[in-house]
Amino acid sequence: MKLLRSALASVVLLAIAGGPATAQEPSSDEWSATVEAAKGQTVYFNAWGGSQNINDYIQWVADEVSERYDITLEHVKLEDTANAVAQVLAEKAAGRNEDGGIDLIWINGENFASMKEQGLLADGFATDLPNWSLVDADNPSVTTDFTVPTDGRESPWGGAKFVFFTDPARFGDLDTMPRTADELLQWAKDHPGRFSYPAPPDFMGSSFLKQILSEKIADPSLLQEPVDEAKFEEAARPLWDYLDALQPVLWRSGRDYPQNYPAMKQLLADGELGIIFAFNPAEASSAIANFELPDTVRSFVFPGGTLGNTHFVAIPYNSGSKPAAKVVADFLLSPEAQLRKERPEIWGDPTVLDMEKLEPADRQAFEAIDRGVATLGPDELGPVLPEPHPSWMTRIEEEWKARYGS
């Protein structure tokens, strides 16, 4: 029955995507040995569990690696990736240097920087994966994570670009939507109670703060270096001035905040919020396809640029299932898995693969994806603002809590 289900899934994939997409086969004796060692191993994959479509995709991956490689993939659903980092750190402090409780972790930004600095990651593995040869390695966000070199210690999984969503049927034509942070503030004042953001340290809430800071800071180059405490107060003042002006016109007058992105999405669906945001250009189309948002919702960006980055998977230094974790990471990079992930009705997460490196049939399958009416094309997404050094996120989260937390 499992073989039949897998075969039927492949037929559906071909019918929807327009062509075949196959995983790279291991070619070296060393990789063949890795695949052999992975058989029968269990991989505890710690990944955010707040989105059903992502959870469903990870379950599909689990079914596939079980069928193909005899690997058991257990999705440990996280509310905050920092909890997984803390677990590995506690294991290291306790001397548990083998057979740790986490084998693979969905990660980027400050959590990667923290794990790398504290020696919590396995030696570089990503560039040795067979499917690394298909990755768009010319994209600097694939080899540096929030300015920190990855050194092969995490494998790219998907792309991200900060995008706003609104429902023109309720809140006006896209031409009337804000085009800068200052225009967003004015829109919020003109539509009191119709805008908000999750309270940091929620990832999306912190990302909003970084977007505003990246636009308002006098010297953006400061964000590419670790925070200089002597300069922090002056550098960050435009952010706090902005948030002070925004606070009174937020949803619920800023007395409460949406818990996370799914909560924001529901508030947009209910008409309580007029503008929300996500870190996935296809998120609105995905939500429409899954009947979570009305089909009148559309995307927009700031022409001057929005934040962009890559998200990754990494292997903790004390994983007892490193061979299986590597095999899973490689499968996540396969054209088949990347193609499925990019389909908006599945997830809509942009690929990290270089289309020029793919076989013609796989390239055609990606080109055939219907990304949905609410997804902006690559030429419409605008410039990418680089992510600040991870220390900036930590510092502004601390300051935000002191100023606005309760």
Q: Is 325 exposed, middle or buried (0-12, 13-18, 19+ CB in 10 A)?
A: buried
Each residue's pLDDT tens digit, 97-122 = 999 999 999 998 889 999 999 999 99
The DSSP letter of residue 135 is B
Name the band, by pLDDT with cuts 50, 70 and 90, for residue 28.
confident
d(CA 349, CA 309): 12
Cβ neighbours of residue 245 under 8 Å, at least 6 residues apart? 185
Rounded to 10°, the helix 203-216/390-404 angle is 100
Q: Residue 372: is its pLDDT beyond 50?
A: yes
Computed over every residue of the chain, the mean pLDDT equals 91
Mean local confidence (pLDDT), 344-350: 89
Amino acid at site 38: A
**pLDDT at position 109:** 87
Domains of the chain: 2-158+310-374 (3.40.190.10), 163-308+383-404 (3.40.190.10)
Other Cβ atoms within 10 Å of 95 Cβ, number: 8
Assess whether the previous peptide bond of 201 is cis (omega < 30° from 0): yes
Q: Residue 25: is its pLDDT beyond 50?
A: no
**More confident site: 298 or 7:** 298
**pLDDT at position 27:** 56
CB 229 within 8 A of CB 235: no
> Both tokens of residue 19?
């062509």
